[in-house]
Amino acid sequence: MAQKNIVSCSFGKDSLAMLLLLIEKRIPVHEVVFYDTGKEFDAIYATRDAVLPILTANGIAYTELKPQNSMDYDMFERPVNEKGGGVHYGYSWCGGRCRWGTTKKIAALKKHCAGCIEFVGIAADETRRITKSARENRVLPLVEFGMTEADCLAYCYGKGFEWVEHGVRLYEILDRVSCWCCANKNLKELRNIYTHLPHYWQRLRNMQARTNRPFKGDIGIFELETRFCNEK
């Protein structure tokens, strides 16, 4: 039996470009797997819904993985044993040194793709990620195609995928369209969320109210809001 080819797709620009190119080049794809954190931008879910008919038309199976517990539970309610004894509740923000959500995602995808060929959407100019992602049974088609991040975005735009919310293309205000509550977002991205996507900013405010840990270093969402407001 031929080995199964699985595309790991977040429905962001790079993994989507990879998937569409594989289909275009008639490289066999047997399954697409998406790990839904529950905290993706609405535009990601809209993109997924637009791609599903393409998968069906090409006879490609679709699988959606989800974390065992909701992200809110793990962030705010999960009992966590402390090194010095005692317990606190929740891992708090995911990002920086504590990328617990990413760890869960990688483990789930690795388990699902075990024994198969996994196609991963890392662009040709993501040198650090290319090195870190090298392992058996993992293929990086965008590297082989020489597709940079900019190439992937232009390709997706050309196919009609634009990730628009509130009249704004997300890739014009964000470096990466990852989880909207990812603590790895930089100040430029956070300022743009505050300015252009106030409904997400309100969700960030609600989350900050449930944890004592600041969002970025020693600065919390409310302090960032004051800073951005003063800049205006």
pLDDT (tens digit per residue) in 174-189: 999 999 999 999 999 9
Of 36, 90, 98, 39, give the one whose Cα is nearest residue 67: 36
φ, ψ of residue 157 to 5 degrees: the values are -60, -40
Q: pLDDT digits over 100-114, tens only?
A: 999 999 999 999 999
Distance of CA 125 to the CA centre of its chain: 18
Going by pLDDT thresholds of 50, 70 and 90, the confidence category of residue 2 is: low
Q: What is the mean pLDDT of residues 8-24?
A: 98
Q: Which two tokens stand for residue 84?
A: 């010095």
Total-model pTM: 0.94
The whole-number pLDDT of residue 111 equals: 96
Say how many C-beta atoms besides its own lie within 10 A of residue 90's C-beta. 17
Q: Compute, in degrees rounded to 10, the torsion defined by CA atoms 78, 81, 82, 84.
A: 160
Q: Do 34 and 12 contact (CB within 8 A), yes or no?
A: no
Residue type, 150: A
